[in-house]
Structures are given as structure tokens and as C-alpha cells.
Structure 1
Amino acid sequence: MSISDQSISEPAVALPAASYWPATTDVDLDVTTVGALLRRVATEVPDRIGLVDGPADPAQRRRWTYAEMLDAAESVAAALLARFRPGERVAVWESNRAEWVLLQMGAALAGIVVVTINPQYRTEELRYALGQSGSVGIVHGTEHRGVSMTGIVESVRDELPDLRETICFADWDAFVASGDRSTPLPDVSPDDPNLIIYTSGTTGFAKGALLHNLGVVNASRLSAERAGFRDGDAWINPIPLFHTGGGVLASIGTLARRGVHVVVPQFDPALVLELMETERGALILTVPTILLGLLDHPDRPARDVSALRTVMCGGAKVPADLVRRTKSTWGCDFSILFGQAEMHGVLTQTFPTDSDDDQAETLGRPMPHVEVKIADPSGAPVAVGAEGEICARGYQNMMGYWNMSDATGATIDADGWLHSGDVGTMDERGYLRIAGRLKDLVIRGGENIHPLEVEELLLEHEKVAEVAIIGIPDPKWGEQVGAVVQSADPTDPPTPDELFTFCRSRLAPFKTPKLWYFVDTFPRTPSGKIQKFVLRDRVASGELREWQ
């Protein structure tokens, strides 16, 4: 059975007392590919601007109509097919730029699977991603933050026998001109793979989620529609294109809505605010750190962002105060996203019309054509409001982890349910709330402790800027609760006694941290999530020492 066949099947009947949401089918899926979608939009609105490259110097900004995008993408497809076969994997290792998007579109027309790689990766990480994915080619930048990307590619090339071609974006024009435009393009199916996106790595070993055309097109399109992104709107995109937020939701969501994709080369709050004004941005997708950077920037009050209708935010827990502050400051709507690369980026989302409480406190309702349940360890739905693992089934599920059958089997069960590893609840309306990660649970003396509850409490303390709760092995209790704290003011940090007293007055004794660690910065994934496994490793190695 194909992916599209699975996605339109009628869902099972929900148990009224269980945390289960059946797949809704009131909105049709667009059963197409990324390449076919580009052709359709270029036919419908050929002269409409579809892509803007947004460097800091306005004189260097470039624009493409949809007709020009298609023409460029067809040239890219011909150049790729002169070197690679449909179905082969080609990596992209570069910061945001318009050519990244054109390469993505050309690869989709050619049936080439794009492997997205974080430009911050260094030698070992790049070698792993290229080797694990079996990439036969790489298109890369020249340098990133003072590090030679060309030099790193050359240093690993001889160790990767599958890697046949290396292409630098500095040679883009010559590359695009190198193909034969008369080369016939392959027939690509909606079920065919489109992208490999490596997981952020909050638990360590990176895995490549294999995403298909049907999921890339529809997850992005339906998310954009739910957020109120209208036909022809401008989307300001500071999210890295190697991430599902940038390369799926923004890039393809804009295409599906025939809008303007404004590519921000790297996050600079002053530049983003200027582009929001000059490009009349109607929507911006952010993570909390980006959103705070925009709201706190001194240029913000002077910028006219009256075209902004919706701020979307995800990638990490979005504090309620940040939601309310954003809506109050800009007079805009807000939409919370929750999902994973394994689900093509989004599983649930709030509506702009949702109440302030729902916007600030929930993850929204499941997207169309996907079943969601909150499951107990046996896989059965728990009672409404009870905690369990968030699981999903439908067209949005990845095809699997590339070349990792055991990891795929541990994530997608025999009945097709994808196990997210996130603990949450569902209310009687189908709205989800997050409680934490299963693997982040601290189990002290047989009691389960959700780090998020303790973290949210500590964030209320005026001297705490950020905090991560982790389990520390303990011979008596199994695990002890440890708190890793970043001070709001490094010159006036809180003391462990002060924080212990603060927590103890509002938490059960077993939940109150007993071990305290202080850091200047946290190790993070590219999407901004704290890498708790790194903190645990640093404690175990003695690199991070308890505050005495």
C-alpha cells in the first residue's frame, strides 16, 4: 500500500474516554511532488516573485519570479543528472542562501534525495553524515564562521569511497550551466524520498530521517494554512534550511501558498527586523531564542512590521509569557508548533483564533490526516488528561531512518504508530500539552519526575536565566535530581541554598533538586534545544562539578 493510500484511509473510531484523536479528512491532501508543485505554481503565477535572497546589503539582494525559479531549477536538475542518478543522495552543506533553495527544487525535479547538513559541523561530524547517508555528492560553501568548508571537504573525501563529486557554491554559475537541458527528467512519485534530515541529537547519536514528497508538500502546506498564511504573502525565514523548519515548513509552505520566501542568510535580529519591514513580512517562523532576540533588540520599536499577521514558534518549549508578550508588542496572532523531523516537522499546531490560554499553554490540535494518541507502555490510549507517550500514525510519518532498521523499528511499531519519545497529555478537545521527554525522566526511588515541571518553576526565580534538570546516578535512590543553572546576572548568581528553599516551598521533597551545577552557556542542538546528554556526560567525567 502506498503512502498516499494509507493517508486517506478512514480512521478507527475514537474511544470517548481515551486520549485518541482520529485522522480528520475534511481537507484534501495534495497528492503531488515538490517538483510538480513548483511547475504548477510557475504556470499559475509565473510573474509573481517567489524567492528573495536577503543579505544585509540591500544592493546585493536578488529576486526570482516563479517562472525564473522553475527555469533555474530545471537547469540545476540537468546539471545534477549529468553527475548523479535519480534516487541517489547528494548532501548540501552551507548556510542559508537562495541557491540552496534552487538546488532543493532542482533535486526534486531530478529525483535526487537531498541530505541536509548543518554548516556548523566540523570534520568528524561531516564525515559521519556523508558516510552514514552514502552521499555520492556534496554541494558546499567556501567557509563558515572562519572555518574553511572547502578544506574540510577535501580532508574527508579520500575516506568516503561513495563520494564521487564535490561542488562548491562559489562555482554555482558554472555548475548550473554544465547540464544538458534536453535530458529528460524522471517521473517522480509522491511516495518517493525527497530529503534526509538528521535528527537534532538531544539523546546523542544522529539519525537521518528519510522524508517523502507527499509529506514534505502537505505538512508544510497545511501548517501554513493553519497559521493564516495567505496566497501571495511574504514569509521571512531566519530558520536554517538544513532544518525542517527552514527547508520544509518555510521553503515548501511558501511554495504551496504561492508566496514570497525571503531567505535570511543567518540570524541577525537587526537584519530580520529590517526585512520584516521592507519585504512586508506577513509571517515569521521562530524558535524562542530567535523571538527573544527580535523583541529585545533596540531597533524593534522603530520598525514598521504592520504587515505581520502571525508569529509561529516551535523547536523548544515556548514560555507562556513570551506568547503574551509577542502578541501584545506586535498586535499579531501566534501559532505554536509541535513536531519532529520524523513527522515532517509538525504534528500539532494552535490556530490563530485560539484563546490566549490555549496559545500559551497547549501545543494545539493534531494536523489533518494524522491519528494521534497518548499511549501507556503497552501502546493503549490513556484516559483523557492522563500522561503518556505522544504517538502518531498517518502520511506524515517518515519512511524510516536511513540505513538504520533497528532504530526505525524501535520508533515505528508494527501497527504504524510513530513513538515520539515525548510525554504529554490530551484534553477532551484534542489539544495536547507537553510534559517532557521519556528519556529525560528522572526516576528517584521509584518516583517519576518530569524535568519540565521543575524547570518551569526555577525559571520563575529572578536570578535564573535558564535551567536544565537531569538525573544523576545515585547508589541509594537510583537517580538524584540535578539542576544545571545559567544565572540571569553572572555577577550576582543565586546560591544553591537559595534555589533549594525556593523549590522546596513549592515542590514535593522528592522533586526538589539536591545537586546544583552552574554554567555560562548550554550545549544546544541547531534548533536551540539543550543537549541534556552532553550535560550528563560532563557531570560523569567531572568536567561539570557540583556547587559545594
Structure 2
Amino acid sequence: MEVYRTLIPLGPGDVFVSVAGFHHIAGAGNLAVALGAGSAIVAFGWFTVSAWRELDGLGITHALMIPPMIEMLLAADALPLPGLRTLTYGGSPIRPQTLARTVDVLPDVRITNLFGQTEGSPLCALTSADHDAIRAGDTDLLATVGRPVPGLELRIDAPDGEGVGEVVVRGPHLFAGGPDGWHRTGDLGSVDDRGYVHLVGRTGDTISRGGEIVRPVQVEDVLRTHPGVADVAVAGVADERLGEEIGAWVVPADPAAPPAFDELAAYARERLAGFKIPRVWSTVRELPKNANGKVLRRVLRDSASSDELAPSTEGTR
């Protein structure tokens, strides 16, 4: 609890609402923190934009939500609440452009991102000071989950040539770790020169294309910057020759005029190594996601077939 309160000041007189589900550590943990701090709590049912708007007038000072909710509220011009002083988010990755808009729409609100797991949370935090730095132009922070929280040790296990490996942690507020005392998060990431953690996916998400390792998140981050792409997911597709090929499922910004696959491949080629370019593509209305907004790559992999994915004519080298 002390870790939370160091990052998110709460106390008597504050009014807290969690619109994230209580079946995850973020919703349950922050509720307990608010109770322990003596703050008032507003009960919240199923999330909708109209339900969020109904909080107007209840004096909400602190709110917790997940990134898909932020995106829905931004799209409806409904994110600001009168009296809101602190917004905390987490549970799934937030798109850099979404975070940039959130910071712009809430100029006077303390914004904090908490990254954690059920076995221990939080692990890292992009603090309110970090979000102020983003407002001041430090846009590199948009692609991070912050730095390790006070009292937590974090290291990258078996880093590759790019410094990417599994994120392992230990600290007094975590479940017991493995035999060596470290908890293996299953997240792949790196730590930059300033100590900020960059996540690039899960250990089971990597694609081995003819022996070359490709991390889906890196490819997705590039494709999302294309103006014709609203969202995208990348996953491995079984291939007899290479073992796995790279598949991309694209949600077009304009369903009536989706971008051509060869156009997307050429766009990615200008920004990525040739072996990281998707070779099979599909246009979809939406991506399969869990309740926290995380893409279900296994669903994409399981549904992949030659009928659903179209090959690109772009070369691979």
C-alpha cells in the first residue's frame, strides 16, 4: 500500500472511482488502497460512456481505468470530469498517440501509469512528473512503462544484441519468486540509459521466421503510424518453408477504403529490417481482445488460414 500511496497521493476528503474491473489486481488493489487511505469510494457498474458521464457532480477526484476506456472517452469528448485531479491507468499497453491526446485533454490532471501483474503490482510507474515531462516535449517517454517503483529490483535476463530479454523482478511487495528469489514476468523488454523500461511483447509472442526473431509489438508500432490504419495486430503464421511467417491483421481507419497491403508492406520496409515485414495480411473490423484490452494473439494464430490471409507481393529482402 505504501508503494501505491507514494505514487498516487490519496487521503481523507478524496473521492475514488475504479471503472476497471475488480477481477484484476489493478481494480481490487487500488480499491483497497483507497479504503486504507480513508478516501470515499464511488461504486461503478458496467463501463459505458454514458455511465462515466453520470459521475459528473459526484466530486470524483481520483479515477482508475484501462486504455480502451480512455480511447472510448476521448472519441466521445467525454474524458474530463469536473474536480478530477488524478487519473491512473494500466492493465494493457496504451498507444502513444492515445497517451499524447490524454495528456493534452487533461492539462491540469496528475496522470500515472502503473505496470504490474497479479503476482506483484506495481512493478513500474510512469509517474505524474513523467507525464509533465511529456507535456514539456519529452515524447520518448510515450513508448515506455516508466521506471521501477521504489523498493523494486528489476533486471533484463539474457538480453540479446538489442538489449531485449525477459523482465525479472524482486521486491518486498511481490509474491515469492523462483528458487533464485526473482519473479519471471514473462514480459520481454529493455531498459534505456535513463532507467525507463520499454516492453516489446511476451516471451511466447515472438515469431521465429527462418531463424530470425521478430517481436510483434515492434512491427505493430510502425504500422499504427500509417494514416490508413486504426489498429493492427501481428502474429506468427505456420509456414512449411520458414517455420513461421509474419501475419498482420489490420483494422482500417476507413473501412470503405482500406489501405492496400503492398502499400503497407512498402511503408513498413522504410522503417524496419526486411525480415520483419509481414508477408500475409488480413483486413478485419476489430481485433480479438480480452476484458483489459490486450490482443489475443493465440486467437489470431488459431484462425489463420490461406482463405483469411492474403500474401503480399513485396519482397522479403
The within-5 A match list for 1:7-406 is 218=1, 221-249=2-30, 251-275=31-55, 277-299=56-78, 305-331=81-107, 332-343=109-120, 345-354=121-130, 355-356=133-134, 357=138, 359-376=141-158, 382=159, 386-398=163-175
Shift in Å at residue 429 of structure 1?
4.0
CA gap 1:229/1:361 in 2 versus in 1, 3 angstroms: farther
Q: Summarize the Cα distance change of 1:443–1:295 in structure 2 as closer, same or farther, 3 Å threshold.
A: same
Asked if structure 1 preserves the Cα contact closer than 8 Å seen for 2:57 and 2:82, the reply is no
The answer for unaligned runs of 5 or more in structure 2 is 312-317
CA–CA distance in structure 1, aligned partners of residues 198 and 99 of structure 2: 15
1:306/1:293 Cα in 2 relative to 1: closer, same or farther (>3 Å)?
same
| Structure 1 residue 279: Cα displacement | 2.0
Q: 1:244 to 1:281 in 2, by over 3 A?
A: same
Match of 1:545 in 2: 308
Segment of structure 1 superposing worse, 430-439 or 230-239? 230-239
d(CA) in 2 for partners of 1:229, 1:327: 21
In 2, Cα distance between the equivalents of 1:284 and 1:385? 37
CA contact (8 A) 2:223 2:232 kept: yes
1: distance between equivalents of 2:179 and 2:22? 32
| Counterpart for residue 447 of structure 1 | 212
Give the one of 477, 480, 503 matched to 2:245. Answer: 480
- Distance apart, 1:532 and its partner CA: 0.4
CA contact (8 A) 1:459 1:467 kept: yes
Is the partner of 1:271 in helix, strand or coil? Answer: helix
| 2:297 is the counterpart of 1:518 | no
Q: Deviations over 1:48-101 (max 9, x none)?
A: xxxxxxxxxxxxxxxxxxxxxxxxxxxxxxxxxxxxxxxxxxxxxxxxxxxxxx
Q: Report the residue type matching 2:98 in the other structure.
A: L
The C-alpha deviation readout for 1:285-305, integer Å capped at 9, x for no partner, is 2222100111221555xx6x2
Name the amino acid aligned to 1:312: T
Q: What are the Cα deviations for residues 337-373 of structure 1, in whole angstroms up to 9, with x where unaligned?
A: 2111122x42111221122136523211212332211
In structure 2, give the amino acid aligned to 1:285. Answer: L
Q: Which amino acid aligns with 2:263?
A: E
Sequence identity percentage? 32
Aligned-residue RMSD, C-alpha:
2.2
Amino acid at match of 2:217: L
TM-score for both structures, normalised by structure 1: 0.52
Does the 8 Å contact 1:223/1:349 carry over to 2? no
Counterpart Cα distance in 1 of 2:5 and 2:142: 19
Q: Provide the C-alpha distance between the structure 2 equivalents of 1:413 and 1:384, rounded to a whole number of angstroms.
A: 26
1:439 is paired with a residue of what secondary structure?
A: coil
Which structure exhibits the higher relative contact order, with contacts defined as CA atoms closer than 8 Å and separated by 6 or more residues?
A: 1
Amino acid at match of 2:117: Q
Structure 1: which 5+ runs fail to align? Answer: 1-217, 377-381, 400-411
Tell me, yes or no, if the aligned pair for 2:12 and 2:40 is still in contact at 8 Å: no
Q: Contact 1:480 / 1:514 at 8 angstroms: preserved in 2?
A: yes
Please tell me whether residue 419 in structure 1 is matched to residue 184 in structure 2.
yes
Q: AA paired with 2:101?
A: R
The SS at the match of 2:52 is helix
Relative distance call for 1:310 and 1:516 in structure 2 (3 A) is: same
Q: Give the C-alpha shift of residue 385 in structure 1.
A: 7.6
Matched residue of 1:440: which SS? coil
Asked if the contact 2:16–2:40 (Cα under 8 Å) also holds between the matched residues in 1, the reply is: yes
Question: 1:109-167: per-residue Cα shift (whole Å, max 9, x none)?
Answer: xxxxxxxxxxxxxxxxxxxxxxxxxxxxxxxxxxxxxxxxxxxxxxxxxxxxxxxxxxx
Between Structure 1 and Structure 2, the one with more strand by share is 2
Amino acid at match of 1:339: G
Cα shift at 1:224: 4.2
- Report if aligned partners of 1:459, 1:466 keep a CA contact under 8 Å in 2: yes
SS in 1 for 2:195: coil
- In structure 2, relative to structure 1, the CA distance for the partners of 1:337 and 1:385 (3 Å cut) is farther
How far apart, in 2, do the equivalents of 1:444 and 1:390 lie?
A: 23
Could you say what secondary structure the match of 1:346 adopts? strand
Distance in 2, Cα, partners of 1:333 & 1:398? 29
Match of 1:456 in 2: 221
Shift of 1:427: 2.8
Distance 1:502 1:397 in 2: 43
Shift, 1:391, TM fit: 0.6
- Distance in structure 2 (CA, Å) of the matches to 1:359 and 1:283: 23
Q: Give me the whole-angstrom Cα distance separating, in 2, the residues matched to 1:274 and 1:384.
A: 51
Change (3 A) 1:231 1:346: same
Shift of 1:415: 0.8
Q: Compared with structure 1, are the counterparts of its residues 431 and 230 closer, same or farther at alpha carbon in structure 2 (3 Å cutoff)?
A: farther
Distance 2:211 2:38 in 1: 54
Contact persistence 1:362–1:433 (CA under 8 A): yes
- CA 1:228–1:360: 2 relative to 1, 3 Å: farther
1:451 and 1:297, CA in 2 relative to 1: closer, same or farther beyond 3 A? same
